[in-house]
Amino acid sequence: MTRKFYQIDEWDEQRYAHLVAQYDFHVDLVEDLMLELSRAANLVCDRVRCHLIRGYRCAEGRLLVQTGPTMDLAFHDAVVEYDQDERTRQSPYPGLQTFLIEREQRDMYFGNGAEL
């Protein structure tokens, strides 16, 4: 849970607007990193099935991500995975600085940009 650090004691419109933008960027980044963690977990499961245990987690299926409540007040499930090019890299996660730029190219994402 992220503390709502944009809530300030004394009203300052510019400071408040800046803090809200920082907060939104932070929350989007945390959500995008959780998506990336889910992609990595699905890849690990695939590699275990391929190289160690053929039926590993076959009954459970892919790991899901649930988002919401969204603007329609609903929760939505999604399966997120690396694309074929990312799956063949030594490490599909490129590190935080590169991820900040590349996250918009993933199958699902919340935020964009390397900085506010």
Specify if 29 maps to a domain: yes
Specify if 109 maps to a domain: no
Fill in the amino acid letter for 23.
Y
Nearest to 77 by CA among 93, 89, 61: 61
Specify if 113 maps to a domain: no
Tens digits of per-residue pLDDT, 68-111? Answer: 999 999 999 999 999 999 999 889 999 999 999 999 999 999 99
Is 114 or 32 the better-scoring residue by pLDDT? 32
Specify if 111 maps to a domain: no
Contact 62, 42 (CB under 8 A): yes
Count the domains in the chain: 1
**The pair of three-digit structure tokens given for residue 29, joined into one six-digit string:** 């980044």
Specify if 41 maps to a domain: yes
Specify if 91 maps to a domain: yes
Q: Which domain holds residue 40?
A: 13-104
**The pair of three-digit structure tokens given for residue 69, joined into one six-digit string:** 């409540």
Specify if 95 maps to a domain: yes
Task: Tell me the pTM.
Answer: 0.88
pLDDT value for 116: 65
Asked whether the predicted pLDDT for residue 48 surpasses 80, the reply is yes
